[in-house]
Amino acid sequence: MYRYDEFDAAFVAQRVNQFRDQVDRRVKGELTEDQFRPHRLMNGLYLQLHAYMLRIAVPYGTLASRQMRKLAEIARKYDRGYGHFTTRQNLQFHWPALKDVPDILAELASVEMHSIQTSGNCIRNVTADHFAGATADEIADPRPYAEIIRQWSSLHPEFSFLPRKFKIAVNAAPKDRAAIQAHDIGLQIVRNDEGEIGFTVYVGGGLGRTPMIAHKVRDFLPEADLLAYIAAILRVYNLEGRRDNKFKARVKILVHEKGEAAMREAVEQEFAAGARDGLELPRAEIERIRAYFALPALEAKKPVSERCERRRGKDAKFSSFMQRNVAPHKVPGYAIVTISLKPIGGTPGDCSADQMDAVADLAEDYSADELRVSHEQNLVLPHVALDDLPAVYDRLASVGLATPNAGLISDIISCPGLDYCTLATARSIPIAQRISQRFGDGARAREIGPLKIKISGCINACGHHHVGHIGILGLERAGEETYQITLGGSGDETASLGQITGPGFSTETVVDAVETIVSTYLGLRRDPSEDFLAAFRRVGMAPFKEALYERSAGSDI
Partner 1 sequence: MSEVITANRLIDGIVVFQAENGWVEDFAQATIYDNAEASKQALARAKEDEARDVVVDSYAIVVEMRSGHYAPKALREIIRAAGPTTRPDLGKQAQGQSPRFVEGR
Burial of 543 (0-12, 13-18, 19+ CB in 10 A): middle
CB of 52 to partner 1, least distance (A): 4
CB 261 within 8 A of CB 223: no
Nearer to partner 1, 409 or 418 (CB): 418
CB of 478 to partner 1, least distance (A): 12
Of the candidate spans 49-57, 168-176, 278-286, 440-448, the one that interacts with partner 1 by CB under 8 A turns out to be 49-57
Helix and strand numbers, DSSP H then E, in the chain: 18, 21
By CB under 8 A, how many residues form the interface with partner 1? 29
Residue 483, amino acid: Y
Of the candidate spans 20-28, 164-172, 240-248, 544-552, the one that interacts with partner 1 by CB under 8 A turns out to be 20-28
Residue 47 makes contact with partner 1 by CB under 8 A: yes
Residue 29 makes contact with partner 1 by CB under 8 A: yes
Beta pairing partners, 62: 372
CA distances from 32 to 25, 37, 220, 353 (A): 9, 8, 49, 34
Q: Which residues of 323-341 are buried (b: 16+ CB within 10 A; e: fewer)?
A: ebbbbebbbebbbbbbbbb
Interface pick for partner 1 out of 86, 90, 433, 484 (rule CB under 8 A): 433
Nearer to partner 1, 188 or 377 (CB): 377
CB 260 within 8 A of CB 215: yes
CB of 48 to partner 1, least distance (A): 8
Nearer to partner 1, 237 or 420 (CB): 420
Interface pick for partner 1 out of 5, 50, 272, 309 (rule CB under 8 A): 50
Nearer to partner 1, 52 or 549 (CB): 52
Nearer to partner 1, 406 or 421 (CB): 421
CB of 27 to partner 1, least distance (A): 7
Beta strands across the sheet bearing 45-47:
45-47, 52-56, 91-93, 82-85, 350-352
Interface pick for partner 1 out of 420, 483, 505, 521 (rule CB under 8 A): 420
Residue 399, amino acid: V
Q: Please give the torsion angle defined by the CA atoms of residues 38, 40, 43 and 45, in that order, rounded to the nearest 10 degrees.
A: -120
Subset of residues 343 to 362 that bind partner 1, contact rule: CB under 8 A: 347
Interface pick for partner 1 out of 1, 15, 26, 321 (rule CB under 8 A): 26
Most distant pair of Cα atoms in the chain: their distance? 68
Residue 40 makes contact with partner 1 by CB under 8 A: no
Residue 11 makes contact with partner 1 by CB under 8 A: no
CA distances from 84 to 182, 351, 463 (A): 22, 6, 13
Residue 429 makes contact with partner 1 by CB under 8 A: yes
Q: Which residues bind partner 1 (CB under 8 A)?
A: 26-29, 33, 47-52, 80, 95-99, 347, 418-420, 424, 427, 429-430, 433, 476, 479, 481
